[in-house]
Chain A
C-alpha cells in the first residue's frame, strides 16, 4: 500500500544541513497496524508528514497503491489527502467554531458532497466512535477523549485507506488513552484501514502487530508480533 524508497529529508538551517531521514525505505501493506517509536527529534513527525503528503522528501520515491504521488501537482495532492488519508493529531485540532458533526463532515464538504448527505455520514461515523449523543456539541464543550473521538471520526468519515496518527494519546490520561487505542484497533479490524501511529508510550506500542523504531534517519527496528 505504502512504498517509501530511499527517502532522504534534510533541512537547511543557516549554513548547516540537518539530515533527518537518511535513505529510509519502508513498505506497509494494506490493513496493517504499525506503531512508530523513536527518540525525540528522530524524525517521526517528519516521516509521517511525508507519508501524509503534507511535506516532500528531499530525495527518494514514494508510491501509494502503486501511484507515484510525489509527481502529482499540489491540488491533486490535496485530493489524494482528502480521499486516501485521514489525520489524527496529538492536540486534536478541531475547528473551534464548528460543532462536532460539522467538524467530522469537513472532509466530505471539501469533496463537494451535499450538506444533508455529509451530515448523515458524519453522524453515522460519530456514532461509530461512541459519540451518538454529542453531535451538536462545540469542541470547547467536549473532554479531551471526546475531542479525539471527533477527530478520529473526521479522519475516517471519508473512508480513507490510511489513518495517520501523530501521538494521538499523548495528551490523554492512561485510561482514556487506552480507550482511544482500543478504538484504533477496532476500526483497523472492522474497516480494514491501514493505521500508522506515532507514540512514546511502550504500552501503546506493545499492542500493535507491527512495531517500528526510528534511529539515525532510518527504520532501526521492524518488529512483527503474531496476534
Chain B
C-alpha cells in the first residue's frame, strides 16, 4: 500500500511536470543552501583546526605598541624572559618589514624577518636544506628563504639553493638555508613560507622601519598560556621606555575565531532557512493548485470509500516525495558548491557527518509542513461539491 501510494504520487507529480519542477527547484535551492553552509562551515573549521594543530596552542605572540604605531622590544630583556617566568619555555623576538628582492633577474616583493636563532624552534619551521640563522651570524650577509619564496625566485635553469645570491637593495645575501613548506600560521603577522629571514643586525640595515616590535614565544606544556601571556606583559613593562606590550595567546585567538565562525554559520543558516521557506511556500502553492485541479478526483475517491485521512495522505505523500527529491538534489548541489569553495580556497574538502541527514531531514520536514495545509484542505472538501466541479 505504501509502495503503491509512493508510485502513485510519483505518477501524479510527473503528470504535472512543470509545476513539480518549480517546487523541486525551490526545495533544492533551500536544501542546497543549508548543505553548502554546513559543509563550508565544516571545511573552514577543519582548516583552522589544522592550522592550530600545526602551530600548537601553546604559541604566544608578543607585540610592542607605541603612540606612533609599533614600538620596540628590549632585545636582551626579552631574550632573558624564559629564565624569569616559570612556564615560558622559549621566546624569539623578531623584526618585520618588506621590500623588493631580486635573484637571477627574477624580482619580486616579499616580507623580511629579522630573527634570532630561537625563531626556528619557536615558529616550528624546519629546514629543507642548509642551516638557520645562528647567534654567531651578525653582519655576515646570510639569509634563509621560505619555501614558497624560493620556488618563486627559481627559474628552470637556476634553482634557489644554499649558496645562491639574493639582492636586497644595496646588499647581496648568500642563501644559507631553505625552509620546508609549513602551514601558514593564523597567529603570525607574516607567512614564513613567503619571507626572507636575516639576522637582526642585517634586518636593521634592510628595513625602512627597523623596529624590533614582534616576538613569538612558547608556553611550557603544563603551563596555562594565558597566565604566561600576562606574566610576559608584566615582566617587560618596566623596561619599555615608552609604549606597551600586548601578548596574545593562540587560545584567545581560537576563541575569537570560533565565535566569528558561529556568527558566519548562523548567517548562512538564516539564508538557507529563508531559501527553504521560499521553497516550502512554492510546494504549498503547487499543492494548492493541484488540489484545486483534482477536486473531482478527490470527490470520486471519497465516493468510493476513501477516508479523510486517505485523501490527506495522498497529498502529503506527494509533498514528501517532491521535497525528498528536492532535498536529494539539494544535497548534491550543496556539496558541489562546497566542493567548488574548497577548490577555490585550496582547503581540504570535508563533509560534515550531520550535513546530509540534516539537509534531507530539513527538506522533508519543510515539504510536509507546507504540504500539510493543502492536504487538509483537500480532505475537508465536500464530496458533492468536489464531484460537481467540471
Chain A interface residues toward B at CB < 8 A: 49, 52, 54-55, 74-75, 78-79, 81-83, 86-87, 89, 93, 95, 97-98, 106-107, 109-112, 115, 154-155, 158
Q: Say yes or no: B383 contacts A95, CB within 8 Å.
A: no
Q: Which of B1-56 contact A (CB under 8 A)?
A: 1, 4, 8, 11-12, 15
Q: Say yes or no: B304 contacts A54, CB within 8 Å.
A: no
- A81 contacts which chain B residues (CB < 8 A)? 302-305
The CA-CA distance from A203 to B308 in the complex, in Å, is 40
- B310 contacts which chain A residues (CB < 8 A)? 78, 110
A92 to chain B, nearest CB (A): 10
- B297 contacts which chain A residues (CB < 8 A)? 95
Residue of B nearest to A164 (CB): B303
Count of chain A to chain B residue pairs whose CB atoms are closer than 8 Å in the complex: 65
Q: Say yes or no: A82 contacts B15, CB within 8 Å.
A: no
A89 in complex: contacting residue of B4, B309, B387, CB < 8 Å: B387
A161 to chain B, nearest CB (A): 14
B383 to chain A, nearest CB (A): 5
B388 to chain A, nearest CB (A): 9
Q: Say yes or no: A54 contacts B303, CB within 8 Å.
A: yes
Q: Say yes or no: A115 contacts B4, CB within 8 Å.
A: yes
Q: Tell me whether B223 is interfacial, beta carbon within 8 Å.
A: no
Q: Say yes or no: A97 contacts B305, CB within 8 Å.
A: no
Q: Say yes or no: B307 contacts A79, CB within 8 Å.
A: yes
- B308 contacts which chain A residues (CB < 8 A)? 74-75, 78
The CA-CA distance from A154 to B306 in the complex, in Å, is 14
- B383 contacts which chain A residues (CB < 8 A)? 54-55
- A93 contacts which chain B residues (CB < 8 A)? 296, 299-300, 387
Residue of B nearest to A95 (CB): B297
B310 to chain A, nearest CB (A): 6
Q: Tell me whether B301 is interfacial, beta carbon within 8 Å.
A: yes
14 A-B interface contacts by CB (under 8 A):
A74-B308, A78-B306, A78-B308, A81-B302, A87-B303, A87-B304, A93-B296, A93-B300, A98-B8, A106-B301, A107-B304, A109-B4, A112-B1, A154-B304
- B296 contacts which chain A residues (CB < 8 A)? 93
A5 to chain B, nearest CB (A): 22
The CA-CA distance from A155 to B304 in the complex, in Å, is 8
The CA-CA distance from A27 to B372 in the complex, in Å, is 43
Q: Tell me whether B85 is interfacial, beta carbon within 8 Å.
A: no
Q: Say yes or no: B11 contacts A111, CB within 8 Å.
A: no
Q: Tell me whether B384 is interfacial, beta carbon within 8 Å.
A: yes
The CA-CA distance from A158 to B308 in the complex, in Å, is 20
Q: How many residues of B contact A (CB 8 A)?
A: 23
B12 in complex: contacting residue of A86, A97, A155, CB < 8 Å: A97
Q: Say yes or no: B384 contacts A78, CB within 8 Å.
A: no
Residue of B nearest to A155 (CB): B304
B377 to chain A, nearest CB (A): 16
Q: Say yes or no: A97 contacts B11, CB within 8 Å.
A: yes
Other contacts beyond A74-B308, A81-B304, A115-B4: 12, CB < 8 A: A54-B302, A78-B305, A78-B308, A81-B302, A93-B300, A95-B300, A97-B12, A109-B1, A110-B304, A110-B306, A110-B310, A112-B1
B319 to chain A, nearest CB (A): 17
The CA-CA distance from A97 to B9 in the complex, in Å, is 10
B292 to chain A, nearest CB (A): 16
Residue of B nearest to A154 (CB): B304
- A98 contacts which chain B residues (CB < 8 A)? 8
B384 in complex: contacting residue of A54, A95, A97, CB < 8 Å: A54
The CA-CA distance from A140 to B228 in the complex, in Å, is 84
The CA-CA distance from A112 to B1 in the complex, in Å, is 7
- Residue interface bits B286-325, CB-to-A below 8 A is 1, else 0: 0000000000110111111111111000000000000000
- B299 contacts which chain A residues (CB < 8 A)? 93
Interface core residue of B296, B300, B302 (most chain A CB under 10 Å): B300
Q: Say yes or no: B305 contacts A82, CB within 8 Å.
A: yes
Question: Given A55-B384, A93-B296, A97-B11, do A75 and B307 touch, yes or no (CB 8 Å)?
Answer: yes
- A89 contacts which chain B residues (CB < 8 A)? 300, 387
Residue of B nearest to A74 (CB): B308
A97 in complex: contacting residue of B15, B306, B309, CB < 8 Å: B15
Residue of A nearest to B309 (CB): A75
Residue of B nearest to A83 (CB): B305
Question: Given A54-B383, A93-B300, do A111 and B305 touch, yes or no (CB 8 Å)?
Answer: yes
Question: Given A112-B1, A115-B4, do A52 and B303 touch, yes or no (CB 8 Å)?
Answer: yes
The CA-CA distance from A49 to B388 in the complex, in Å, is 12
- A82 contacts which chain B residues (CB < 8 A)? 304-305
Q: Say yes or no: A78 contacts B302, CB within 8 Å.
A: yes
- B8 contacts which chain A residues (CB < 8 A)? 97-98
Interface core residue of B4, B301, B303, B306 (most chain A CB under 10 Å): B303
A142 to chain B, nearest CB (A): 16
A116 to chain B, nearest CB (A): 11
The CA-CA distance from A75 to B4 in the complex, in Å, is 22
- A111 contacts which chain B residues (CB < 8 A)? 305
- B300 contacts which chain A residues (CB < 8 A)? 89, 93, 95
Q: Say yes or no: A107 contacts B307, CB within 8 Å.
A: no
Residue of A nearest to B386 (CB): A54
- B305 contacts which chain A residues (CB < 8 A)? 78-79, 81-83, 107, 110-111, 158
